[in-house]
Amino acid sequence: MRDTKITPVLFIFIITLLSTCSIHRQIPQEDFKPTLILVSFDGCRYDYPNMATTPALDEMAAEGVKADGLKTSFPSKTFPNHLTIVTGLYPEHHGIIANRIYDDVNDETYTLGNGAVLESKWYQGEPVWVTAERQGLRTATFFWPGSEAEIGGYRPTYYKAYDNDFPYNKRVEQVLAWLDMPEATRPQFLSLYFDEPDHSGHEFGPASTEAIAALERVDKQLASLLDGIEERHLEDKVNVIVVSDHGMTSLSRDSVIFLDDYINMSDIKMVDYSPVAAIRPNPGKLEEVYQALKDAHPHMKVFKKGEVPEKYHYNDYKFIQPIIAISDLHWTMTTHDFFNSHPNYPSKGTHGFDPDYQDMNAIFYAKGPAFKKGVSLPVFRNTNIYELMCHILEIQPAPNDGSLEVTKGVLEK
């Protein structure tokens, strides 16, 4: 029989070898390329975190960057703004001008529920994952409006069809699992999306107990993400940006504008209702409908396409309808029929209003090796995030409506 006794020298050698291996298991053996995780808390108004217990957002602010607010693009709706954040383009330039869009030539409608979100034809801009993939990087989206469609011939390397009910913690686990992939297949840009506190803000009202509790729930998910990054010793490798798409304001059944008090609804097609009504008059009816609506209500502004004030950036796109009516903050446009048959309409809260209202402001937090620590930014436009993300990923941005000038003061280099 062979002698299997281990000499003390060999023993020390083996222990040293094992401990070296275990350190190597914790610290990635090769250097991480620039990596960025973009997180969205849908409908988190700029001031919600002040009303909630949000240790993860607080950690982001203390160890990174917090903006006083993020200014939404018009209309302050989910799809238009998620696309603006990832393209740097105003909605009139990236094409997602509303959550409901009508193509009159082909009689096709884009809505969130009809599968149109998968169709390339609606998307005009270049989302950051396309810019990255074009330049040879891999990307991964655990949901982001537009991420399931092929855009400009590209898709994220890893993506998932939207599923509202997919458990939040599983989303975080998958993002962390993507970070664990070998260098050859690991994505450098990753997104993570949560539909709260938007949903609770609509149902229970902005700043309601339920909306604040919903923010606390998503903050816990952010905490797991940040913890997961720390467990992997990647806090000096991986950047995290947390944004929301818009704010939220209260509505009431007492602040309602009835369009059918002023026009005959059979003279028009309503593409979208409130707070931005997209109105398509029947042939020959444009002037009559416009004149009837123009000064009809003190809380409703009405414009013909091409005459929407410059600040909205909302004229220059084929699917913008001939008449755009915009209600003032808190006001809802509807018809008597709809109002009478929906006793719970309008919901307690909504968004979509002029981004100049502070209630429409969103959040921006950032942390990681690219960012200075414990710094703040004044309110800035969400068109500027795309350039920032391209800078972090060291890729060439496509033409866009934003600028790195706005955020470069919070960057390490």
Q: Interface with ligand AMP by CB under 6 A: which residues?
A: 42, 77-78, 99, 112, 117, 143, 145, 162, 164, 195, 198-199
Residues 6+ apart with CB under 8 A from 300: 257, 293, 325, 326, 327, 328, 331, 333
* Active site annotation includes 78: yes
- Is residue 146 a contact point for Zn ion (CB under 5 A)? no
- Is residue 272 a contact point for Zn ion (CB under 5 A)? no
Which of 360, 39, 43, 361 is CA-nearest to residue 201?
43
One-letter amino acid of 80: P
- Output the smallest distance, CB 21 to ligand AMP, in A: 42
CB nearer to ligand AMP: give 84 or 407: 84
- Is residue 245 a contact point for Zn ion (CB under 5 A)? yes
CB nearer to ligand AMP: give 162 or 339: 162
Which residue's C-beta sits nearest to Zn ion?
78
401 makes contact, choosing from ligand AMP, Zn ion, none, with CB < 5 to 8 Å by partner type, with: none
- Is residue 359 a contact point for Zn ion (CB under 5 A)? no
Q: With DSSP H G I counted as helix, E B as strand and the rest as coil, what are the percentages for the chain, rounded to 5?
A: 35, 20, 45
- Output the smallest distance, CB 80 to ligand AMP, in A: 9
CB nearer to ligand AMP: give 122 or 290: 122
What is d(CA 3, CA 338) in angstroms, rounded to the nearest whole number? 90
- Output the smallest distance, CB 162 to ligand AMP, in A: 3
In this chain, which of 36, 38, 40, 42 binds Zn ion, going by CB under 5 A?
42
Angle formed at CA 268 by CA 256 and CA 340, multiple of 5 degrees: 35
- Output the smallest distance, CB 182 to ligand AMP, in A: 28
Angle formed at CA 47 by CA 90 and CA 81, multiple of 5 degrees: 15
- Is residue 228 a contact point for Zn ion (CB under 5 A)? no
What is d(CA 290, CA 192) in angstroms, rounded to the nearest whole number? 42
320 makes contact, choosing from ligand AMP, Zn ion, none, with CB < 5 to 8 Å by partner type, with: none
Find the length of the chain.
413
- Which one of the listed residues 72, 78, 84, 332 is annotated catalytic? 78
Which of 80, 108, 110, 109 is CA-nearest to residue 92?
80
Residues 6+ apart with CB under 8 A from 309: 303
CB nearer to ligand AMP: give 162 or 262: 162
Which residue's C-beta sits nearest to ligand AMP?
78
95 makes contact, choosing from ligand AMP, Zn ion, none, with CB < 5 to 8 Å by partner type, with: none
* Two structure tokens written together for 223: 């905490």
365: which strand partners?
Answer: 66, 242
The helix (H) or strand (E) run that includes residue 327 is strand 323-327
- Output the smallest distance, CB 198 to Zn ion, in A: 4
Residues 6+ apart with CB under 8 A from 336: 258, 260, 261
Residue keyed to tokens 């890893």: 158
265 makes contact, choosing from ligand AMP, Zn ion, none, with CB < 5 to 8 Å by partner type, with: none
One-letter amino acid of 221: Q
CB nearer to ligand AMP: give 62 or 112: 112
- Output the smallest distance, CB 238 to ligand AMP, in A: 23
Residues 6+ apart with CB under 8 A from 346: 251, 252, 253, 256, 274, 332, 334
Looking only at residues 183 through 212 of this chain, which bind Zn ion when binding is defined by CB under 5 A?
198
333: which strand partners?
Answer: 257
- Output the smallest distance, CB 385 to Zn ion, in A: 15
CB nearer to Zn ion: give 201 or 397: 201
* Two structure tokens written together for 245: 């798409």
CB nearer to ligand AMP: give 217 or 372: 217
In this chain, which of 72, 73, 78, 208 binds Zn ion, going by CB under 5 A?
78
Give the residue numbers marked as catalytic.
Answer: 78
Note the residues at the interface with Zn ion (CB under 5 A). Answer: 42-43, 78, 198, 245
